[in-house]
């Protein structure tokens, strides 16, 4: 990836707002081949994205109009039926190639993800690995998820019933900025596998990454127009909901409610992957040597801007002090940086708005009596939107960060006297996306997991082993969402189910219809006898 300036990898020296021709971090020869893919009539203006690492202009690209959204969905609809008829083996081959290409070309997308989102490279690599895992999973398991099923018919032998999965048509996907590669593809891969077309509306800050996906999908052999990108903000997202046959939304709970409302009115399916206030419990018997580094990753990966990230630490009082002493030390050692390599542990927040939200949450908690054990400061010495990884103790219940999702590198501590109290504290939230339990006794942790109201519960890990197990459904209880991504569940959400029931005995005169030709009470009597026999034989 070439940038507009020579650099030793750090982007801190790239701002030159005095020179209009040189103000964009990304060169036009990188940006234009991507932005040519946007479905736009160039009637709705231009969006300028900002480099989170420096605050400098990153790139400019045209925004789609509402009419462009309609055009995109029409174009996708025109090719979808042909794709649905394409043999499944050809569709899985495209996904398999996509996974291979993303791995091969990872340096391109790692640079782009870092530049658009400000994250550390190791967090960006999680996206590359995720896409490779998801593509492989659906390429291998997809045919099984889509296979027709025979189910018992009304009259054994005489009624043959098969259940089929049909594509819904055009799937709309609305994605946030925090995982610009993963969250574009985690819906698109099962959607395409099932024979749908996809129109995606990425976040304005991370649109280039989505356009790169469109390029690589084409290189993987996906026919034209099956994956189209429209650009813009919430209005364009809302417009997409008006045209598609299913909406897969990932973002905040507030926006998710609006999307669900409109999807409900239109009677289209909606998959909603929303926010969280995820708890992590360290039980009295946890091995602190493994827990400390694992919990650091669980809280601060992707600068805490991860839907599954841990924002509430629940510590058994027997180990709380020992754990915190080592944990705070490890958090203090985290290295912040903007290099396009693997030297930094933690990257920047994505934007000024995100910095404002994190700062407001921490300042509010401190003003209400909380203590920062480490962090609690803006790190403008590293970059304009960097914030120090922060651990807060004594957070009062009325502090914003006690209940609202912060979506940043901030975690608060609660001490408990028992596992029962831990479960109560973990469930004391409107959200239910992810939870984590650390204990030497996995069976005991599983028993606790059964009592936790959360779509995923991860034992002796923060989030990765649930996220990276693509056969396992992922999503939220309560205000964290509806429906699931990954696994069989995603394919089921992105297909219509159709039952085809065939009468086999018609030509022999023993069909359901021939029964009704008997007239009078005879059909009822015959059916009563048959139903009694089926009950005695315990046939379903």
Catalytic residues: 273
Q: In the bound complex, what is the minimum distance in angstroms from residue 276's beta carbon to ligand NAD?
A: 6
433 binds ligand NAD (CB under 6 A): yes
Which of 24, 177, 281, 327 is in the footprint of ligand NAD by CB under 6 A? Answer: 177
Q: What is the tally of helices (H) and strands (E) in the chain?
A: 19, 20
CA 427 – CA 276 distance, rounded (Å): 12
Say if residue 496 is exposed, middle or buried (CB neighbours under 10 Å; 0-12, 13-18, 19+).
middle
- Non-local (6+) Cβ contacts of 401 within 8 A are 311, 361, 362, 364, 365, 392, 395, 410, 412
462 binds ligand NAD (CB under 6 A): no
Q: In the bound complex, what is the minimum distance in angstroms from residue 454's beta carbon to ligand NAD?
A: 12
Query: Facing residues of 495 across strands?
Result: 167
For the record, the structure tokens of 532 come out as: 């009694």
Of 36 and 257, which has the nearer Cβ to ligand NAD? 257
244 binds ligand NAD (CB under 6 A): no
57 binds ligand NAD (CB under 6 A): no
Longest CA–CA separation in the chain, Å: 93
Candidate segments 52-60, 81-89, 271-279, 315-323, binder of ligand NAD by CB under 6 A:
271-279
For the record, the structure tokens of 157 come out as: 């032998």
Which of 190, 276, 304, 487 is in the footprint of ligand NAD by CB under 6 A? Answer: 276
CA 202 – CA 500 distance, rounded (Å): 38
Q: Segment 189-218, which members bind ligand NAD (CB under 6 A)? A: 201, 203
Which of 195, 237, 294, 347 is in the footprint of ligand NAD by CB under 6 A? Answer: 237
| Contact string 362-401 vs ligand NAD (x = CB under 6 A) | ----------------------------------------
52 binds ligand NAD (CB under 6 A): no
Which of 258, 326, 368, 488 is in the footprint of ligand NAD by CB under 6 A? Answer: 258
Which of 405, 419, 489, 492 is in the footprint of ligand NAD by CB under 6 A? Answer: 405
Which of 123, 250, 271, 351 is in the footprint of ligand NAD by CB under 6 A? Answer: 250
Of 311 and 339, which has the nearer Cβ to ligand NAD? 311
Total binding residues toward ligand NAD, as defined by CB under 6 A: 28
What kind and span of H or E run contains 170? strand 170-174
487 binds ligand NAD (CB under 6 A): no
Angle between helices 28-35 and 207-219 (to 10 degrees): 70
304 binds ligand NAD (CB under 6 A): no
Of 238 and 401, which has the nearer Cβ to ligand NAD? 238
CA 323 – CA 285 distance, rounded (Å): 12
For the record, the structure tokens of 15 come out as: 């701002």
Q: In the bound complex, what is the minimum distance in angstroms from residue 28's beta carbon to ligand NAD?
A: 25
Q: In the bound complex, what is the minimum distance in angstroms from residue 53's beta carbon to ligand NAD?
A: 19
Identify the sign of the CA torsion 366, 400, 278, 338: negative
Which of 384, 432, 481, 487 is in the footprint of ligand NAD by CB under 6 A? Answer: 481
477-478 vs 431-432, strand pairing mode? antiparallel
275 binds ligand NAD (CB under 6 A): yes
Q: In the bound complex, what is the minimum distance in angstroms from residue 90's beta carbon to ligand NAD?
A: 30
Candidate segments 189-197, 219-227, 229-237, 284-292, binder of ligand NAD by CB under 6 A:
229-237
Candidate segments 142-150, 248-256, 413-421, 437-445, binder of ligand NAD by CB under 6 A:
248-256
Of 92 and 231, which has the nearer Cβ to ligand NAD? 231
Write the CA distances from 522 to 513, 515, 528, integer angstroms: 13, 8, 10
CA 7 – CA 121 distance, rounded (Å): 17
- Non-local (6+) Cβ contacts of 32 within 8 A are none
Q: In the bound complex, what is the minimum distance in angstroms from residue 274's beta carbon to ligand NAD?
A: 5
- Output b/e per residue, 358-369; b: 16+ Cβ within 10 A: bbebbebbeebe
174 binds ligand NAD (CB under 6 A): yes
58 binds ligand NAD (CB under 6 A): no
Which of 233, 369, 509, 532 is in the footprint of ligand NAD by CB under 6 A? Answer: 233
Identify the sign of the CA torsion 248, 253, 256, 260: positive
Residue with tokens 């749908």: 196
255 binds ligand NAD (CB under 6 A): yes
Where would I find the beta strands (DSSP E) of 7-96? 46-50, 57-62
Q: Are the C-beta atoms of 276 and 283 separated by less than 8 Å?
A: no
483 binds ligand NAD (CB under 6 A): no
List the one residue out of 500, 517, 402 whose CA is nearest residue 165. Answer: 500
List the one residue out of 355, 377, 356 whose CA is nearest residue 366. Answer: 377
Candidate segments 92-100, 161-169, 176-184, 493-501, binder of ligand NAD by CB under 6 A:
176-184
CA 52 – CA 383 distance, rounded (Å): 8
CA 133 – CA 153 distance, rounded (Å): 38
Q: In the bound complex, what is the minimum distance in angstroms from residue 308's beta carbon to ligand NAD?
A: 7
Q: With H, G, I as helix, E, B as strand and everything else as coil, classify residue 76.
A: helix
Residue 65 has what DSSP assignment? P
Which of 176, 190, 462, 473 is in the footprint of ligand NAD by CB under 6 A? Answer: 176
Residues that bind ligand NAD (CB under 6 A): 174-178, 183, 201, 203, 233-234, 237-238, 250-252, 255, 258-259, 273-276, 307, 405, 407, 433, 476, 481
């Amino acid at each position: 990836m070439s940038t507009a300036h020579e650099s030793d990898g750090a982007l801190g020296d790239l701002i030159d707002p005095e020179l209009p021709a040189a103000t964009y971090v990304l060169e036009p020869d990188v940006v234009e081949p991507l932005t040519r893919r946007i479905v736009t009539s160039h009637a709705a203006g231009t969006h300028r994205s900002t480099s989170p690492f420096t605050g400098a202009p990153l790139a400019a690209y045209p925004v789609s109009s509402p009419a462009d959204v309609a055009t995109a969905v029409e174009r996708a609809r025109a090719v979808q039926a042909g794709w649905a008829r394409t043999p499944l083996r050809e569709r899985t081959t495209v996904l398999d190639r996509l996974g291979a290409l993303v791995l091969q070309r990872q340096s391109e997308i790692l640079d782009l993800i870092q530049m658009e989102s400000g994250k550390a490279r190791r967090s960006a690599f999680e996206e590359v690995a995720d896409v490779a895992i998801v593509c492989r999973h659906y390429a291998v398991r997809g045919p099984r998820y889509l296979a027709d099923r025979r189910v018992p018919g009304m009259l054994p032998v005489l009624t043959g019933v098969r259940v089929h999965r049909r594509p819904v048509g055009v799937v709309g996907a609305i994605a946030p900025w925090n995982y610009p590669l993963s969250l574009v593809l985690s819906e698109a891969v099962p959607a395409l596998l099932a024979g749908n077309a996809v129109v995606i509306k990425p976040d304005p800050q991370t649109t280039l990454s989505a356009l790169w996906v469109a390029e690589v999908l084409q290189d993987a052999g996906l026919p034209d127009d099956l994956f189209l990108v429209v650009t813009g903000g919430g209005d364009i997202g809302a417009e997409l909901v008006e045209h598609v046959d299913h909406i897969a939304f990932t973002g905040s709970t507030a926006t998710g409610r609006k999307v669900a409302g409109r999807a409900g009115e239109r009677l289209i399916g909606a998959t909603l992957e929303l926010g969280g206030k995820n708890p992590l419990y360290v039980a009295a018997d946890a091995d602190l040597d493994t827990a400390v580094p694992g919990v650091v990753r669980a809280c601060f990966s992707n600068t805490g801007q991860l839907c599954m990230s841990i924002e509430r630490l629940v510590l058994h009082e027997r180990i709380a002090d020992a754990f915190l002493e080592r944990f705070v030390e490890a958090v203090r050692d985290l290295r912040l940086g903007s290099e396009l390599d693997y030297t930094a542990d933690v990257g920047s927040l994505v934007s000024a708005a995100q910095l404002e939200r994190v700062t407001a949450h921490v300042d509010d908690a401190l003003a209400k009596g909380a203590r920062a054990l480490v962090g609690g400061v803006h790190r403008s010495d590293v970059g304009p939107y960097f914030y120090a990884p922060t651990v807060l103790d004594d957070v009062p219940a009325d502090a914003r960060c006690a209940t609202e999702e912060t979506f940043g590198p901030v975690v608060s501590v609660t001490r408990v006297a028992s596992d029962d109290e831990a479960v109560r504290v973990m469930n004391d939230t409107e959200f239910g996306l992810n939870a984590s339990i650390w204990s030497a006794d996995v069976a005991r942790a599983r028993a606790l997991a059964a009592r936790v109201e959360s779509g995923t519960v991860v034992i002796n890990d923060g989030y990765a082993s649930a996220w990276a197990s693509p056969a396992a459904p992922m999503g939220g209880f309560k205000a964290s969402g509806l429906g699931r991504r990954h696994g069989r569940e995603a394919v089921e959400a992105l297909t219509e189910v159709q039952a085809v029931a065939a009468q086999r005995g018609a030509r022999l005169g023993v069909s359901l219809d021939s029964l009704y030709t008997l007239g009078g009470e005879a059909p009822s009597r015959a059916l009563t006898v048959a139903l009694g026999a089926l009950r005695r034989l315990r046939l379903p």
